[in-house]
Amino acid sequence: MRVVRSWIAVAAVAVLAAGCVRGDPYENEPEEPEAPTAPAVRRVPAAPVTAADSALAAARIAARQDSVSAAFRKVRVLRWREVWGLRRDVNDEQIAAAQSLGVRAGGEAAIERLRRQGRLVALGDSTEHWVLRKMTHSVPYVTPDARALLVEIGRRFHAKLDSAGLPRYRMKVTSALRTEETQVELRKTNPNASQTVSAHEFGTTVDVSHERFAVPAPPREAAAGGAPAVSPEVWEVEAEMLEEVGKANAKPLQALLGRTLTEMRAQGVLMVMMEDAQPVYHFTVNRRMTAGR
């Protein structure tokens, strides 16, 4: 703990004194780069920061780390019965739901046509509930029902985090819509991929990591035209701290998201499979989530 606190103090002083912003504060996984994000918003140069301000920021972040770590220790990890409950919806059952509620795209032209018709929608690279991981065998489009499902999962997951006194970590989406061609390519490298049709081919199914989670979205401005509650420089250091703490506490985060999915499964909202070969929750929307089509 002392080593981490020292690193936080040094990092806070260095970043605040330099007044610079380094890279993407929400991800630190060069081996698995995130999908492209929107251009950074131009910031007004910050006022000079004193040594006292830096010390206060470092103390604040160290205290925040202690608080978050303590809250994580109170979260019970998944028990074997809970894991079993998350592995009951086999591939064939999810495919049946996907075929009933989804659409099938045969390539880029078909995806674009379905998008124009509103039958497929973009997930978005970064929202308050999730971020996209780099996708090599799928594209970030789903049906409106599936996107609404992901929003509802995120909302309920955040409610559980709030109740546990934890920051609003976000899901990492690893896979979405696949075509028949990309599914064939995936089988060559992933033995866990469906050997027939996949629920992912209908835009109703999403994979999210149950090993890695993204830090919360950056703090919003206090009011229209007002200053952010936390300066971008301080938030960058805090985000790096939260990322490290999140990695060290992946099991509690896995449990809170898993319990969210279990509750929604019991309500008939989704079908879910907790996978191991690919450490993801693989889930399919199981009823209409949007009004009208």
pTM of this structure: 0.81
Structure tokens at 279: 């450490």
Closest C-alpha among 281, 211, 276 to residue 248: 211
Average pLDDT of the residues in 260-289: 96
Q: Tens digits of per-residue pLDDT, 120-166?
A: 999 999 999 999 998 888 899 999 999 999 999 999 999 999 999 99
Q: Report which DSSP code applies to 34.
A: B
Kindly give, in sequence order, each residue whose CB lies less than 8 Å from that of residue 223, ignoring residues fewer than 6 positions away: none
> Residue 26, by phi and psi: left (phi above 0), alpha (psi -120 to 50) or beta?
alpha
For Cα atoms 269, 273, 144, give the angle at the middle one, nearest 5 degrees.
Answer: 40
Domain 80-218+246-285, CATH: 3.30.1380
Closest C-alpha among 220, 188, 216, 204 to residue 270: 204
Q: Tens digits of per-residue pLDDT, 202-250?
A: 999 999 999 999 999 998 765 455 656 678 888 999 999 999 999 999 9
Q: How far apart are CA 200 and CA 207, in angstroms?
A: 9
Q: Tens digits of per-residue pLDDT, 23-53?
A: 333 333 333 444 444 444 444 445 556 788 7
Mean residue pLDDT of the chain comes to 82
